[in-house]
């Protein structure tokens, strides 16, 4: 009896048919934020426009210089490193498109009750840091190592489990070269902003956001599979609560449009005038390079090939695409669709999973094209 940690948490649930977004989902939506879609124009997302999802609180770190990262567990030489130590290692900068695993969740029916993203939980930044494989090589991973566990300083409760945020990668993934995992201390050439992990975070190019542990304070090599909450309970693709489920890993392909014309404040409907409208957007996939972007101006009935810009050597970042559309008076629904080198693409009807993860349903952008003589 009495007041236990579990009293803070409600069970996971699905929204009832036609149930609007509730106060708990709204409290998450007003704290966390997506990319305003017009910011897809920027190759690198300006600070403050990149999506942010914080499970608990953003830790308060008034002084970076006292931050310590420990590397231990199943290793020969445990390490304790501060930021100056990390800066002395070889430095790598990688441009990475990062997307929340729950992006698109609020479009599912029934809707899993959690952070209610529509399509906007994405952003692209250049992350600078030390390759994780160098730190693990220096520590000396012992034979029999299975996983590498990353612990952040963010602390909270989730489904009754009090925890520091923890995720793992297999030793192979943690020490791989492509993608090369970074322990990052800079974002777009500046120290990490508090909400992006100040002073240290993991960056796992091509993987959904849950793998990029923020406020990183410990790396532990373990000789048995890691079964922490965020690995074994959350972030799994399941149809029913009792399924073990498949782990959420790499980012599924997705394309988004820079919304054309101008918006209505409340409906967010886009307004254009008749004639040529330059459409542009971005396409990305964490599974394989994007090879194709297509656009539909009739709600997904027919598709046209868009011009895909070269990736500029940034394999793990989104690519820009462009297409000119001749708008005619009336109501239209614009969509874009990405396909990658392994043939993965985006569905028009979304397969459902209980957590609302890895959703990559084709975006629908309602556009109103005015009559020729419509007054200003």
Binders of its own copies among 24-83, rule CB under 8 A?
A: 24-34, 36-39, 41, 46-50, 52, 54-58, 60
Quick one: which H or E segment has residue 145? none
- Which CB contacts under 8 angstroms, 24+ apart, belong to 54-59? 54/154, 54/195, 54/214, 55/154, 55/156, 55/158, 55/165, 56/154, 56/155, 56/156, 56/165, 57/154, 57/155, 57/156, 58/154, 58/194, 58/195, 59/152, 59/153, 59/154, 59/194, 59/215
- Does residue 204 touch its own copies according to CB under 8 A? no
| Residue 339 C-beta: closest distance to its own copies, Å | 26
| Residue 50 C-beta: closest distance to its own copies, Å | 8
| Residue 31 C-beta: closest distance to its own copies, Å | 5
Footprint of its own copies on 342-371 (CB under 8 A): 368-371
- Does residue 144 touch its own copies according to CB under 8 A? no
| Residue 306 C-beta: closest distance to its own copies, Å | 19
- Contact pick of 90, 143, 244, 375 for its own copies (by CB under 8 A): 375
**What CA–CA distance (Å, rounded) separates 315 from 141?**
29
- Contact pick of 87, 155, 236, 315 for its own copies (by CB under 8 A): 155
Which CB, 8 or 137, lies closer to its own copies? 8
3-class DSSP assignment, residue 12: coil
- Residue whose structure tokens are 């952003």: 123
Of 20-28, 77-85, 201-209, 215-223, the segment contacting its own copies by CB under 8 A is 20-28
- Does residue 175 touch its own copies according to CB under 8 A? no
- Tell me, rounded to whole angstroms, the distance of Cα 88 from its chain centroid: 29
**What CA–CA distance (Å, rounded) separates 3 from 6?**
8
- Contact pick of 72, 194, 299, 300 for its own copies (by CB under 8 A): 194
| Residue 291 C-beta: closest distance to its own copies, Å | 28
* Residues 6+ positions from 301 with CB-CB distance below 8 Å: none
Which CB, 201 or 292, lies closer to its own copies? 201
| Residue 77 C-beta: closest distance to its own copies, Å | 30
Q: What is the pairing mode between strands 122-131 and 182-187?
A: antiparallel
Which CB, 30 or 65, lies closer to its own copies? 30
- Contact pick of 176, 193, 299, 300 for its own copies (by CB under 8 A): 193
Q: What is the DSSP letter of 33?
A: B
Which tokens belong to 194? 């508090």
| Residue 194 C-beta: closest distance to its own copies, Å | 5
Footprint of its own copies on 233-292 (CB under 8 A): 259, 262-269, 271
- Contact pick of 22, 241, 275, 347 for its own copies (by CB under 8 A): 22
Which tokens belong to 349? 């009807």
Which CB, 139 or 327, lies closer to its own copies? 327
- Does residue 188 touch its own copies according to CB under 8 A? no
CB atoms within 10 A of CB 348: 13
Q: How far is CA 261 from CA 244, 267, 269, 271, 369, in A?
A: 46, 14, 10, 5, 9
| Residue 18 C-beta: closest distance to its own copies, Å | 9
- Contact pick of 110, 156, 176, 299 for its own copies (by CB under 8 A): 156
Quick one: which H or E segment has residue 173? helix 171-175
Footprint of its own copies on 285-344 (CB under 8 A): 329-331
| Residue 42 C-beta: closest distance to its own copies, Å | 8
Which tokens belong to 57? 């609180």
* Residues 6+ positions from 322 with CB-CB distance below 8 Å: 278, 279, 280, 306, 307, 309
Footprint of its own copies on 121-140 (CB under 8 A): 121
Which CB, 18 or 178, lies closer to its own copies? 18
């Amino acid at each position: 009896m009495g007041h236990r940690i579990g009293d803070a948490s409600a069970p996971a649930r699905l929204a009832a048919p036609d149930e609007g977004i509730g106060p708990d989902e709204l409290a998450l939506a007003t704290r966390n934020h997506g990319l305003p879609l017009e910011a897809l124009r920027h190759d690198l997302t300006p600070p403050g426009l990149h999506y942010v999802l914080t499970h608990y609180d953003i830790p308060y770190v008034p002084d970076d210089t006292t931050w310590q990262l420990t590397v231990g567990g199943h290793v020969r030489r445990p390490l304790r490193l501060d930021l100056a130590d990390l800066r002395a290692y070889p430095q790598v900068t990688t441009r990475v498109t990062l997307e929340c695993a729950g992006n698109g969740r609020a479009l599912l029916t029934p809707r899993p009750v959690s952070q209610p993203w529509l399509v906007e939980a994405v952003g692209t930044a250049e992350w600078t840091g030390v390759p994780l494989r160098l730190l693990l090589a220096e520590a000396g991973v012992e034979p029999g190592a299975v996983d590498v566990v990353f612990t952040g300083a963010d602390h909270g409760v989730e489904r009754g489990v009090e925890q520091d945020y923890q995720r793992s990668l297999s030793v192979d993934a943690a020490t791989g070269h492509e993608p090369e995992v970074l322990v990052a201390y800079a974002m777009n050439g500046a120290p990490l902003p508090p909400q992006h992990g100040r002073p240290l975070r993991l960056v796992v190019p091509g993987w959904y956001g849950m793998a990029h542990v923020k406020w990183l304070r410990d790396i532990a090599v373990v000789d048995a599979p890691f079964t922490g909450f965020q690995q074994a309970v959350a972030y799994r693709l399941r149809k029913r609560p009792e399924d073990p489920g498949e782990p959420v890993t790499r980012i599924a392909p997705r394309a988004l449009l820079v919304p054309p014309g101008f918006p209505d404040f409340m409906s967010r409907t886009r307004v254009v005038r008749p004639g040529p409208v330059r459409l542009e957007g971005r396409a990305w996939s964490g599974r394989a390079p994007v090879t194709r972007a297509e656009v539909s101006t009739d709600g997904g009935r027919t598709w046209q090939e868009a011009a895909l810009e070269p990736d500029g050597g940034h394999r793990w970042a989104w690519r820009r695409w462009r297409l000119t559309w001749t708008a005619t008076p009336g109501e239209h629904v614009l969509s874009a669709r990405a396909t990658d080198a392994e043939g993965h693409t985006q569905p028009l009807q979304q397969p459902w999973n209980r957590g609302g993860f890895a959703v990559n349903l084709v975006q629908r952008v309602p556009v109103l094209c005015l009559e020729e003589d419509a007054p200003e």
